[in-house]
């Protein structure tokens, strides 16, 4: 049995993932703002460093896997906080924990992205660039300014929608770029992401209110049902298994077919020789 760290373990997909791993006999180190083994604010550099230090103490320097699930939605009024929590939080924590994952025989890491990265037409290219460059303060300033410049009706509906979608887009890019570097791949540490769609979590309900009829949801729901946290926890568990030895840099859509319905020809995209 292994030892796994799960962020956002107090509710939603994080809680379901922690429960799934514990039910399989693993030791789970939960991280959240409350009701967790480690109480830490992953929206700050200090909170991430504190969380990493406590995780390393609890696991003795060898960690079998990390599920970076903590996140916030587009309803959060502060777009800067959305960037810090959704992008810099998982990226910084995973970087801090990489040596402990490398010390395990089969270190695994999975982060939670979103299908909003490909289904929301509000990606801020400059914000993505700042995130990937590691410029957190500049990204925070840009996110706030961009949010304030949005039309009032959009700000009222989802004040941080652009920062949310951009944070998840940047996270997917970081996963793809980082997973294949020698520090991760040649150390045997696999790094993947899950892109959920409409899953009935406190985060989603906080953003949309009542879920209502799936067929009246703003985005297509081909299966006619919303996802449950357990649907995501299942794939978190699969990515963290030692047997998942030949998959890294993957972004798995677990969204009931929404991305495929909206962008049927978006993937695969042929490589250009130009």
Within 104-201, residue ranges assigned H as helices are 116-119, 125-132, 136-148, 152-157, 161-179, 182-185
What are the b/e assignments for 48-85, b being 16+ CB within 10 Å? bebbbebbbeebeebbbbbbbbbbbbbbbebbbbbbbb
Continuous segment of H or E residues that includes residue 66: strand 65-68
In contact, 127 and 170? CB cutoff 8 Å = yes
CA distances from 94 to 10, 55, 150, 189, 211 (A): 19, 12, 32, 11, 32
231 close to 199: Cβ distance less than 8 angstroms: yes
Q: Which of 4, 87, 164, 253 is the catalytic position?
A: 164
Cα separation, 82 vs 91, whole angstroms: 14
The Cα 5–Cα 68 span in angstroms is 8
Q: Can 87 be counted among the known catalytic residues?
A: no
Residue 81 dihedral angles phi and psi, to the nearest 5°? -65, -35
Sheet strands side by side (includes 251-254): 38-39, 27-32, 3-7, 65-68, 108-112, 190-196, 251-254
Does an H or E element contain 27, and which? strand 27-32
Its sign, for the CA torsion 40, 46, 48, 51, is: negative
Which residues are marked as active site? 164
């Amino acid at each position: 049995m292994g030892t796994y760290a799960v962020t956002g373990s107090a509710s939603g997909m994080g809680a379901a993932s922690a429960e799934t791993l514990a039910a399989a006999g693993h030791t789970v180190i939960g991280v959240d703002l409350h009701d967790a083994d480690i109480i830490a604010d992953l929206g700050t550099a200090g909170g991430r460093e504190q969380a990493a230090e406590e995780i390393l103490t609890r696991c003795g320097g060898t960690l079998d896997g990390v599920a970076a699930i903590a996140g916030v939605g587009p309803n959060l009024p502060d777009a800067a906080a959305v960037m810090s929590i959704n992008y810099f939080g998982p990226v910084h924590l995973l970087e801090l924990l990489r040596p402990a994952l490398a010390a395990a025989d089969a270190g695994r890491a999975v982060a939670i992205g979103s299908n909003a990265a490909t289904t929301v037409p509000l990606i801020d290219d400059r914000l993505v660039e700042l995130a990937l460059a590691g410029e957190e303060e500049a990204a925070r300033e840009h996110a706030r300014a961009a949010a304030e410049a949005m039309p009032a009706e959009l700000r009222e509906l989802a004040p941080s929608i652009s920062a949310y979608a951009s944070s998840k887009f940047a996270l997917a890019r970081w996963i793809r770029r980082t997973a294949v570097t020698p520090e991760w791949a040649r150390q045997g540490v696999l790094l993947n992401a899950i892109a959920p769609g409409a899953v009935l979590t406190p985060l989603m309900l906080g953003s949309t209110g009542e879920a209502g009829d799936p067929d009246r949801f703003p985005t297509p729901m081909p299966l006619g049902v919303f996802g449950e946290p357990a649907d995501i926890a299942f794939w978190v568990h699969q990515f963290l298994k030692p047997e998942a030895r030949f998959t890294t840099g993957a972004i798995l859509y677990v969204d009931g077919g929404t991305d495929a319905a909206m962008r049927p020809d978006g993937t695969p995209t042929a490589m250009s020789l130009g």
